[in-house]
């Protein structure tokens, strides 16, 4: 049995959501369907991630249920460019609607000038004060431009829920129909001499028109701000090449990049993007890899070097054999992880979800109470005055800002992190990382370059060349940096490798294989002791090499020790700076855990500025170290790149894998660093803490806004159009505050 879960996540594009109550309603209803394990709706991205078992419930039923709730739902399968174009079309349509509504509302704004002290001197045409003319202007705004609000409000009420559209429809319809009633009552009066006097009574056509217009303007501003929040994701999509030059026999064909297959021979000319991840077969060139490494200086590439899709060939002609195409490329993986992080929901959002679920009914109740308070006591019998206060309460307290507080900040925060080469897999990782207090760093490939060099070769009973051939042949399939270094040394010395069979990695100990008909064991001295293999008279020399900070791999065959290889791995130039940042700027306790010998570990730790060192740790012992720190109440971050780090990465509160690590390591991690520079960890901490602080700012603003605004409106200090303006600006303020994270 594979152990694979039957629940598969599916991403749906949702349309028609207007506030947090909409998202909460979808989650509540769909989450009850048998076969749906989990659903997370992201208001900012207008997207839902549904984990379901299609053997119990087909995806079509989930989509049908969302449509019944009054929203649009489709499986997200369009290309990024198509999605972007669809968003642009919707934005332009909204822009046209706003302009039309604004044009019809301007006469009301002009007419209002005569009612205010500062602008009473402005001439107002008599026509603009005529109730029939106002009715003529307000009707298309209310029922043509405002028709989508009625549709969404009806669908929400039909499903026993309430959202922002319900508030808008209740408020504007009340103002419109009450004004319509007054106008018709005046027209039915027979006494002509009283008609003009009656017709001068306060009407609220201007309120209904301005409310709808301001809501639309707010939506337009919000949509424009949201486009800015998605810019990092769009930039990643733009990195991907649109076409590729593929060699078919002797012919060079230009095909869409999506048609490139693994193993194709690609030609990349100067100024062109590399269309897929691959290996250079022919040619030399400078390649701009700044989108991955962050370094502006181009890297010289030659045959045998790996290249990444999306990087730019600056000079020379390259022939590349594609190794990873389509969704397997690095850039596609970056896009996938970024979309996944931006679509997920942080735990901090739970409070907002609970409040949003009951917010609208509570607001409607508050508006009704406000009406009766004014009608019965504060302004007895004056229904127009009481109605105006109730409408203001309904309109000022929409939960839009509350719903946007978390997802918008996560959207921008994860996007900013991506530009720094930091990929968060889920939004909740941002929250967990901000509270971390201990970081455990692997040594080889993390603190060090991971590119060790062979410094000493000691052979017994055979020549160094024969010994190195045996060792390199046994290591030829190894992905460990030590194994690669040994194979590389053999290549430099011109040694031809022998066939290797029954290759096996023994985690935390070494490798074993069959070479030239003999079983070969390569690994630590502790493993040799476990195997019952004695080092003979050479232990003193091994200890001297270890004290120099070198890593010693012992070699045995036929149950006998036959020699050793010493390797030295240099510390990354930025490791000590990164450790200082983690300690001083973020207050983290930095620990090093490695499977290497104590002497080698101490030498690297001293140069990096780390005092807590745990050496000679097997994978299960690294796991136990993480668990022991957690048992002491520590929030642990584990950073590693090797397969032996995967268990500890999975157990830690946050696991961070460097890009050079194995696929298993990256799969077990919560964060992937595209750059080897450990300053990326400090950058991730900074982005995380700033994002959570930004979310708390948004929450504080949203809560305080409603706590102050609702009593303010109920007390009669705010006209409906002013309340609507405040509501729209609250959402825009939250989005703009989140956009500040782009400069983090």
What are phi and psi for residue 6, nearest 5 degrees?
A: -75, -15
Taking alpha carbons only, the member of 568, 582, 580 closest to residue 683 is: 582
Q: Is 290 helix (H, G, I), strand (E, B) or coil?
A: helix
Residue spans of alpha helices (H) in 294-399: 330-343, 350-373, 383-396
Query: CB neighbours (10 Å) of residue 478?
Result: 21
Contact 716, 387 (CB under 8 A): no
Q: Angle, to 10 degrees, between the axis of helix 20-31 and the axis of helix 59-68? A: 140
Q: Residue 478: CB partners within 8 Å, gap ≥ 6?
A: 484, 487, 503, 505, 511
User: What are the C-alpha distances in Å from 442 to residues 293, 455, 545?
Assistant: 21, 22, 21
184: exposed, middle or buried (Cβ count in 10 Å: 0-12, 13-18, 19+): exposed
Reading across the β-sheet that carries 243-248, which strands appear in turn?
251-256, 243-248, 265-268, 318-324, 277-282, 306-307
Q: Check 442, 569, 641, 653 and give the catalytic one.
A: 442
515: exposed, middle or buried (Cβ count in 10 Å: 0-12, 13-18, 19+): buried
Is beta strand 438-441 parallel, antiparallel or unpaired with respect to 636-640?
Answer: parallel
Query: CB neighbours (10 Å) of residue 104?
Result: 20
327: exposed, middle or buried (Cβ count in 10 Å: 0-12, 13-18, 19+): exposed
Q: Residue 537: CB partners within 8 Å, gap ≥ 6?
A: none
Taking the chain, what is the end-to-end CA distance rounded to the nearest angstrom? 46
Q: Count helices and strands (H / E) in the chain.
A: 26, 26
Only one residue has tokens 């095909």, namely 255
Catalytic residue flag (residue 34): no
| Tokens encoding 196 | 């003009």
Contact 594, 585 (CB under 8 A): no
Which residues have a catalytic role annotated? 442
């Amino acid at each position: 049995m594979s152990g694979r879960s039957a629940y598969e996540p599916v991403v749906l594009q949702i349309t028609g959501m207007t506030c947090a109550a909409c998202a909460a309603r979808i989650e509540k209803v769909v989450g009850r369907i048998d076969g749906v394990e989990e659903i997370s709706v992201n208001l900012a991205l207008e997207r839902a991630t549904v984990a379901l078992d299609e053997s119990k419930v087909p995806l079509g039923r989930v989509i049908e249920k969302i449509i019944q709730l009054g929203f649009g739902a489709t499986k997200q399968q369009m290309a990024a460019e198509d999605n972007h174009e669809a968003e642009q079309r919707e934005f332009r349509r909204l822009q046209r609607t706003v302009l039309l509504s604004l044009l019809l509302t301007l006469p009301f704004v002009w007419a209002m000038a005569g009612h205010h002290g500062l602008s009473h001197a402005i001439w107002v045409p008599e026509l603009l004060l005529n109730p029939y003319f106002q009715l003529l202007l307000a009707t298309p705004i209310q029922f043509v431009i405002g028709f989508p609000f009625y549709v969404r409000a009806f669908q929400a009420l039909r499903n026993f829920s309430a959202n922002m559209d319900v508030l808008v429809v209740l408020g504007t319809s009340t103002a419109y129909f009450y004004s319509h009633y007054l106008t018709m009552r005046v027209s039915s009066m027979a006494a002509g001499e009283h008609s003009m006097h009656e017709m001068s009574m306060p009407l609220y056509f201007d309120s209904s028109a301005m409310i709808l217009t301001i809501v639309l303007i707010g939506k337009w501003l919000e949509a424009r701000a949201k486009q800015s929040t998605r810019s990092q994701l769009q930039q990643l999509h733009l990195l991907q090449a649109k076409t590729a030059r593929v060699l078919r026999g002797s012919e060079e064909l230009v095909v869409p990049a999506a048609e490139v297959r693994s193993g194709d021979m690609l030609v990349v000319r100067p100024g062109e993007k590399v269309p897929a991840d691959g290996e250079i077969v022919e040619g030399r060139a400078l390649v701009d890899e700044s989108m991955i490494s962050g370094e502006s200086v181009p890297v010289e590439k030659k045959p045998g070097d790996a290249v990444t899709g999306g990087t730019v060939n600056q000079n020379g002609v390259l022939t590349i054999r594609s190794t990873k195409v389509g969704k397997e490329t690095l850039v596609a993986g970056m896009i996938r992880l970024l979309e996944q992080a931006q679509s997920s929901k942080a735990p901090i959002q739970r409070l907002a979800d609970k409040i949003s679920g009951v917010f609208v009914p509570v607001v409607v109740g508050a508006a009704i109470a406000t009406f009766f308070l004014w009608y019965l006591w504060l302004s007895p019998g004056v229904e127009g005055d009481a109605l105006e206060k109730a409408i203001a309460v309904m309109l000022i307290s929409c939960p839009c800002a509350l719903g946007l507080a978390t997802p918008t900040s996560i959207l921008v925060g994860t996007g900013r992190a991506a530009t720094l080469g930091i990929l968060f897999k889920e939004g909740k990782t941002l929250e967990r990382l901000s509270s971390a207090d201990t970081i455990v760093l692997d040594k080889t490939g993390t603190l060090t370059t991971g590119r060790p060099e062979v410094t000493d070769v000691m052979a017994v009973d055979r020549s160094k060349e024969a010994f190195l051939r045996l060792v390199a042949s046994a290591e030829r399939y190894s992905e460990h940096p030590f194994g690669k270094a040994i194979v590389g040394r053999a290549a430099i010395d011109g040694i031809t490798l022998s066939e290797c069979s029954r290759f096996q990695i023994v985690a935390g100990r070494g490798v074993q294989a069959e070479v030239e008909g003999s079983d070969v064991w390569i690994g630590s001295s502790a493993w040799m002791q476990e195997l019952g293999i004695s080092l003979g008279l050479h232990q003193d020399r091994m200890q001297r090499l270890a004290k120099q900070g070198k890593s010693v791999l012992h070699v045995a065959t036929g149950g006998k020790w036959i020699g050793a290889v010493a390797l030295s791995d240099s510390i990354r130039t930025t490791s000590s700076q990164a450790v200082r940042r983690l300690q001083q700027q973020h207050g983290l306790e930095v620990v090093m855990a490695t499977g290497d010998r104590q002497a080698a570990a101490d030498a690297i730790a001293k140069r990096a500025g780390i005092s807590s060192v745990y050496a000679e740790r097997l994978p299960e012992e690294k796991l136990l170290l993480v668990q022991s720190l957690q048992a002491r109440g520590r929030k642990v971050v584990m950073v590693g790149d090797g397969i032996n780090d995967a268990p500890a990465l999975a157990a830690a509160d946050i696991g961070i894998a460097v890009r050079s690590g194995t696929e298993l390591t990256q799969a077990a991690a919560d964060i992937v660093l595209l750059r080897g520079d450990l300053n990326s960890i400090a950058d991730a901490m900074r982005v995380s803490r700033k994002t959570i602080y930004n979310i708390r700012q948004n929450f504080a603003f949203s809560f305080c806004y409603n706590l102050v605004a609702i009593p303010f409106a109920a007390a009669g200090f705010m006209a409906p159009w002013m309340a609507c303006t405040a509501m729209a600006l609250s959402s825009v303020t939250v989005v703009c505050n989140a956009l500040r994270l782009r400069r983090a």
